[in-house]
Amino acid sequence: MKKLIKSTRIYTERGCIDGGFVIENGKFKKIFLKPDLPHTFDGETIDYGNQRIIPGIIEMHIHGYMGWNAMSPDVKEIKKLSKSLTTCGITGFTPSNHYSSTVFDNNAAIAQTMNEKQEGARIFGIHMEGPFISKERLGSVMPSETANPDLNLMKKYYETAEGKITTVTLAPELEGIFEIIDFLVERGINVCLGHTNATYSEAITAIDRGAIITQKTGNCMKPMHHREMSVLGAALLDERVYNEINSDGAHTSIEFLKLCYRLKGKNKLCIIADNGVMSGMKKGRYNLPDRGIYEVGCDGLLHISDGTIDGSALPMIHGIRVWVEKVGIPMEEAVQMAALNPARVLKLDHKKGSIQELKDADFAVITDDYEVVATYVEGELEYNLSQKGSYENKDIYEYLIESY
């Protein structure tokens, strides 16, 4: 059925408008300013009043949400994760995995999910976070989740994923990494620099070979020094490179976000949350079967047993809020960093990432307090506020040992 969606604040690719748009066959067919809205319409009309309509959020770095694991070999769990992400305005994502005994089964499960009719947020491909990363910049990654560069291992990843890998995070300083970079670039797979102790020149060499993005910029990478600018300096100075930035206000300081914005501008920054299985769950301490003591903190962060940060407990839409209210950029630019820029990285901006005629009708309706009222994917309502809380994995709460 055709739909006419109206609001006084619609964040289109050309700016915020008061008006509406018609959805037909899953796409934005026509966008109207208020004076031009049709007086009669032979379909469903929905007026969201003064609530904001933004493009569907695209999350490029996510390991789970609401108790569902992106690294699961179970197709059913991957599908439940997809549904849960619509609660926070996400309409597309690339599930991220680490090297493990089940990683190839996980690849196969994600590929199968993509081959079937998808519901909820759409999976655009697989993000491999490792295993070819530096043991000196692990963050919360376990040493057992790393491996020395091995082209045959990379080929096995690629084959078990049925070619559906979009991005590989690696450390460019590792011996033997260049043949893997070349393998990826030849297949149109994004090379992402992360979990790396690379120098400035090592990073630039990788960028010259085709690396196009840096992972959670500022985290898990060698810091800058005035005599050795490191991979971080290369990330911020090279205009060819996009920068993922965890924008929860805790992983990186507000001043760092301001620096990134001043150096790279709105067109090269991509908001991420690096959510994990426990993101979106009740605050407290858990005793998880596979991780032991684990905390969903009051600081908005996830922590493993030794206190190391393991990602953000808050959804990506919180990052949009941080950029607008704390960094002080326009809402239009923050939305671009959460939708259109990721779509560009994933080579999907011809059909995803913005509210524009003929693109897929992916969008979210949010309040001024950044609560998601509704999420539409390809023109279909996938979530509304009355469903709040219905998509979380409540079985996780049996492991809760202390509530905050």
Instruction: Please give the domain boundaries of the chain with CATH numbers for all domains.
Output: 3-54+356-387 (2.30.40.10), 55-345 (3.20.20.140)
CA atoms within 13 A on the CB side of 367: 6
Residue 290 confidence (pLDDT): 86
Phi, psi of 198 (to 5 degrees): -70, 150
Cβ burial 33-61 (10 Å sphere, 16+ → b, else e) = eeeebeeeeeeeeeebeebbbbbbbbbbb
Residue 1 confidence (pLDDT): 84
Look-up of token digits 């914005």 = 261
Point out the annotated binding site for Zn(2+).
Answer: 129, 195
Look-up of token digits 């971080």 = 232
Q: Three-state DSSP class for 404?
A: coil
Look-up of token digits 């509210």 = 355
Tens-digit pLDDT string for the chain (404 aa): 899 999 999 999 999 999 999 999 999 999 999 999 999 999 999 999 999 999 999 999 999 999 999 999 999 999 999 999 999 999 999 999 999 989 999 999 999 999 999 999 999 999 999 999 999 999 989 899 999 999 999 999 999 999 999 999 999 999 999 999 999 999 999 999 999 999 999 999 999 999 999 999 999 999 999 999 999 999 999 999 999 999 999 999 999 999 999 999 999 999 999 999 999 999 999 999 988 999 999 999 999 999 999 999 999 999 999 999 999 999 999 999 999 999 999 999 999 999 999 999 999 999 999 999 999 999 999 999 999 889 999 999 999 999 99
Burial class (CB in 10 A: 0-12, 13-18, 19+), 15: exposed
- Of the listed 238, 248, 274, 310, which one is catalytic? 274
Can you read off the two tokens belonging to residue 232? 């971080």
Can you read off the two tokens belonging to residue 293? 């003591």
| Alpha-carbon span 102 to 378, nearest angstrom | 32
Annotated catalytic residue 368: no
| Pairing status of strand 165-170 against strand 301-303 | unpaired
Residue 147 is given by DSSP the state -
| Alpha-carbon span 18 to 345, nearest angstrom | 29
CB within 8 Å of 199: residues ≥ 6 apart:
173, 222, 228, 230, 231
Whether 277 contacts 295, CB under 8 Å:
no
